[in-house]
Amino acid sequence: MCSALEKMPTPATTYERIVYKNPSEYHYMKVSLEFQDRGVGLNAAQFKQLLISALKDLFGEVDAALPLDVLTYEEKTLSAILRICSSGLVKLWSSLTLLGSYKGKKCAFRVIQQILSNSRKKASAPPPFILWT
């Protein structure tokens, strides 16, 4: 004897793909750099070079050539506000996440906040995750 469930035809599954094209040209990120050992300092030029090196290490010379600006940098707290073109946001965020050391010292970037340039809405970063390797 067949059950009622076996007699019912299975409904066709349909999927709809929605693509949101972000009209904003830039994204802004507030980041801080944390070292496992205290007392490590970087000036603004070293900080920017670290960002570029992180991009190059992960994506290579050509793919790392993104318009990236350090708008503000606080040397005492090793924190900065970065501006990146929208197409480079994922690459930059990935590079910051995977960076593990600077001149042999273990470190990690923390993304504090990410903001769209043409919006007053802000997207907070996920809870911080730091892995010292």
pLDDT digits (tens, 9 = 90+) for 59-107: 999 878 889 999 999 999 999 999 998 889 999 999 999 999 999 999 9
If one counts the domains in the chain, the total is 1
Q: How many Cβ atoms are within 10 Å of 25's Cβ, its own excluded? A: 13
Q: What is the pTM of this model?
A: 0.70
Query: Is residue 9 over pLDDT 70?
Result: no
The mean per-residue pLDDT over the stretch 102-115 comes to 91
Query: Is residue 119 over pLDDT 50?
Result: no
CATH number assigned to the domain comprising residue 92: 3.30.70.3250
In a domain, 93, yes or no: yes
Enclosing domain of residue 77: 24-124
Three-state SS annotation for 51-106: HHHHHHHHHHHHHCCCCEEEEEEECCCCEEEEEEEHHHHHHHHHHHHHCCEECCEE
In a domain, 66, yes or no: yes
Confidence of residue 23 (pLDDT cuts 50, 70, 90): low
